[in-house]
Chain A
Amino acid sequence: MSAGGGGLGTPRALPSSGPRALRDMPHPLAASSSEEAASELTPSPDLLLPRSFADKDLSLPNGTPVDTSSPASSSSLLNRLQLDDDLDGETRDLFVTVDDPKKHICTMETYITYRVTTKTTRAEFDLPEYSIRRRYQDFDWLRNKLEESQPTHLIPPLPEKFVMKGVVDRFSEEFVETRRKALDKFLKRIADHPVLSFNEHFNVFLTAKDLNAYKKQGMALLSKMGESVKYVTGSYKLRSRPLEFAAVGDYLDTFVLKLGTIDRIAQRIIKEELEYLVELREYGPVYSTWGGLEVELAEPLEGVSACIGNCCTALEELSDDMTEDFLPVLREYILYSESMKNVLKKRDQVQAEYEAKLEAVALKKEERPKMPADVEKCQDRVECFNADLKADMERWQNNKRQDFRQLLMGMADKNIQYYEKESVPASCF
């Protein structure tokens, strides 16, 4: 634990590129600062502690300054210092909901907007409540901005952008509802994130009446800055990838495969169920026809026919539910995993750059006795990235567990309900 050049009173910076002005945040390991904060944090062993804050120049590899504009009140400070995100109602102070889809028909196009409602006690927001309307484009814009401005964090996925016209009806109730749920989840995940939720773009997204004006502003700024960070597709040769990231990388590869398999199985089951349904629809009426030939047997025959008819209804509900609720969530997690993998690659890239610079310096050892500033900068970047990512990974794992628990229990529930519905008329018989 090396101490930097700063004296007493100079706050040690928290290694995060979050929106907070880092000067204002006490060092998590500083003795005098809130002990709770210290006990919450478990910095990883390979995380090198930052030196003097003053020397820091926290910017992205390409030079764009990190978004640190949002001030935070001291009451929500504790929130943000928690790397382990405990989501009980008491600590939450930002609630976001997506609902009320509406169709808009204009001369140029037809599209759907969703109402986004925000309730909050945070000082970053002027009002305690907001209600604005947004369309998918806006969500997409938000996600891109978040990726640009928070490259060391994992951004939640959006539902798929493109739908094949003619195959899927973009304006059908089922499609819109599925999308709405996914968008709601997207915003909730951001709102629950201790760093992302303070992002300026997120704030504007939730509050601005005219988002397009703000978007244009941002576009101009960006073109001055040059290209934003692009997704990394290749892999980088590293000296030593930290164990936990390597492990997560392997995990994600297998995880995505398994999810893909489950997706295919679920689709196959739905297909088989629908084919079963087709046959049942022909089966039931034959009993009725037979009933028409008989006198004494008419009643039991009609009874069987009714049972089968009932089974058809219940089965249709089951396969609709699975299509609308189960499959989309599964696919969302595949997207989520893919984007996690991309963030891991970015991290690798940052580490690789650092190592390259380090190597270059090592070769010229005689000439430079001390670590040059730019190499130190790189090292800091790596540390920040690692810390952010580690926190996000843990959060992701927890959420994943809860989400799948809910998803699979839901699937079991739907099947139970199906059988319960089916057995009712049969017992009356």
Chain B
Amino acid sequence: MSACAEGEPSRAPIPMERPEAEPLSASGSCQAGEAEAEAGSGPAAEEPGGRAAGTMMEDCLSKKIEITVSEAEKRTGRNAMNMQEIYTAYLIETRAVESQTEGQCSPPDSLWRRYSEFELLRNYLLVNYPHIVVPPLPEKRAEFVWHKLSADNMDPDFVERRRIGLENFLIRVASHPIICQDKIFYSFLTQEGGWKEMVNETGFQLKAESRLKALNATFRVKNPDKRFTELKHYSDELQSVISHLLRVRARVADRLYGVYKVHGNYGRVFSEWSAIEKEMGDGLQSAGHHMDVYAASIDDILEEEEHYADQLKEYLFYAEALRAVCRKHELIQYDLEMAAQDLASKKQQCEELATGTLRTFSLKGMTSKLFGQESPEQREGKIKVLEEQIHDGEEQLKSKNVEGREFVKSAWADIERFKEQKNHDLKEALINYAVMQISMCKKGIQVWTNAKECFSKM
């Protein structure tokens, strides 16, 4: 998405906040010919996600145990094809919060996990909690890299930033009122051996495949909940704008690095020049030193900015999780609509058979007209079959409706929780970024003031 230049028609903003929660009645209903199919029922009150989450916060795992990813280590092992590989393992430490406050410093429980195990955990959560905006993992491969940063996964800076990202992921999951209670998650933190097998035994892999397929399929939903449609649009826009931001930021960092580093050349030439001067020599020499300091200062500045970039990246990936939830709603809704449509057509068929009239064109009707009608017994049989199917269909539709409504309710609650979290986190990140800029300016003023003083003594 290109930056908004003047004159470019701006898209209508998609506000994240909605002034009031809309009732569910209109949504989820599908148009079936003779509305005998049960559609979404009356309005259901919606709890503001924030409050609901708030009351449950005390139950969150994060309140009970302290989680850190404290170390990273290079390991060698064998991969699935029995070939040797090098990978990084991360040490997860957990410590009960209470033991801290009592003044006891009990040693933490710890185990080692590698990135692929984190991925497995996350996929499991995605499949089993489709109504939750599941926290994302730090990026698999280094992206949005500017020239000084390495794109190598084994690079120590990358590993360090990944360690922080993984810790952040675990804390986010542990702070979520619903998924923190998951047994598989708890085992991930506490049970070193056999965890992988345990996860696979849940059979989530099959669900994972169909989920992936469905997420990418194209289909047209007739009556989705408008909030989810708008939210999906928003998440697409968010992904686009944050990607663009991160790309440009990387280029900005690159250029800024260049500006600062070239000043280091002043240091060298002032030093050489001072050698041939008498009175000017000292002033030049010391000014040159300050130029070296200036050139070196950019390294710390940009390292701090990388953390800011990581915060943005988290929400870039969060946008994808958000999108997934919206897609799940569409899937459920589509399924519902198809079921209702199928039911309606069966009912129609039944009616036509019963009354002998042909309401709508059907090939069967045509052929029976052309090639002679069926016997009354045959017709009775068909009607009976259809009536059974209709009965089953109605039951199914009822439960699908309930499922649909439940999903919308719980998903929207989590979305509200997510919105609050996002606004809070990003606001803090942006303010910190501004603070970083001020700090950078202060350093600049300091260095140049020092240099100026040296020049004045020339």
Report chain A residues within 8 Å CB of B438. Answer: 423, 426-427
From A14-22, A192-200, A271-279, A363-371, the one touching the partner chain is A271-279
Say if the beta carbon of B150 comes within 8 Å of chain A: no
Contact B245 A286 (CB under 8 A): yes
Contact A288 B259 (CB under 8 A): no
Contact B456 A405 (CB under 8 A): yes
**Closest residue on chain B to residue A315 by CB atoms:** B259
From A73-81, A100-108, A262-270, A382-390, the one touching the partner chain is A262-270
Residues from 157 to 208 in A contacting B, C-beta threshold 8 Å: none
Q: A282-B3, A283-B249, A405-B458 are in contact. Are A296 and B16 (CB under 8 A)?
A: yes
Report chain A residues within 8 Å CB of B237. Answer: 293
Contact B448 A255 (CB under 8 A): no
Say if the beta carbon of B265 comes within 8 Å of chain A: yes
From B4-12, B62-70, B161-169, the one touching the partner chain is B4-12
Say if the beta carbon of A415 comes within 8 Å of chain B: yes
Contact A300 B431 (CB under 8 A): yes
Say if the beta carbon of B370 comes within 8 Å of chain A: no
Inter-chain CA distance A293–B280, complex, in Å, is 57
Contact A286 B266 (CB under 8 A): no
Contact A283 B248 (CB under 8 A): yes
Say if the beta carbon of A229 comes within 8 Å of chain B: no
* Chain A interface category by residue count: 35 or more
Minimum CB–CB distance for A219 against chain B, Å? 42
Say if the beta carbon of A294 comes within 8 Å of chain B: yes
Say if the beta carbon of B113 comes within 8 Å of chain A: no
Contact B434 A416 (CB under 8 A): no
Say if the beta carbon of A251 comes within 8 Å of chain B: yes
Inter-chain CA distance A294–B237, complex, in Å, is 11
Residues from 310 to 329 in B contacting A, C-beta threshold 8 Å: none
Q: A290-B245, A419-B441 are in contact. Are A283 and B427 (CB under 8 A)?
A: no
Inter-chain CA distance A422–B436, complex, in Å, is 12
Residues from 291 to 311 in A contacting B, C-beta threshold 8 Å: 292-297, 300-301, 303-304, 307
Contact A283 B252 (CB under 8 A): yes
Report chain A residues within 8 Å CB of B273. Answer: 255, 258, 262
Q: A288-B4, A405-B455 are in contact. Are A297 and B427 (CB under 8 A)?
A: yes
From A124-132, A336-344, A406-414, the one touching the partner chain is A406-414
Contact B437 A285 (CB under 8 A): no
Given contacts A261-B265, A290-B241, A415-B444, 4 further A-B contacts (CB under 8 A): A265-B269, A304-B433, A404-B280, A405-B280
Listed in ascending order, the chain A residues whose CB lies under 8 Å from chain B are: 251, 254-255, 258, 261-262, 265, 268-269, 272-273, 275-276, 278-280, 282-283, 285-290, 292-297, 300-301, 303-304, 307, 401, 404-405, 408-409, 412-413, 415-416, 418-420, 422-423, 426-427, 429
Listed in ascending order, the chain B residues whose CB lies under 8 Å from chain A are: 1, 3-5, 10-11, 13-17, 234, 237-238, 241-242, 244-245, 248-249, 251-252, 254-256, 258-259, 262-263, 265-266, 269, 272-273, 276, 279-280, 283, 287, 423, 426-427, 430-431, 433-434, 437-438, 441-442, 444-445, 448-449, 451-452, 455-456, 458
User: Which 6 residue pairs across A and B have the least CB separation, nearest first?
Assistant: A412-B452, A423-B441, A276-B255, A419-B444, A408-B455, A285-B3
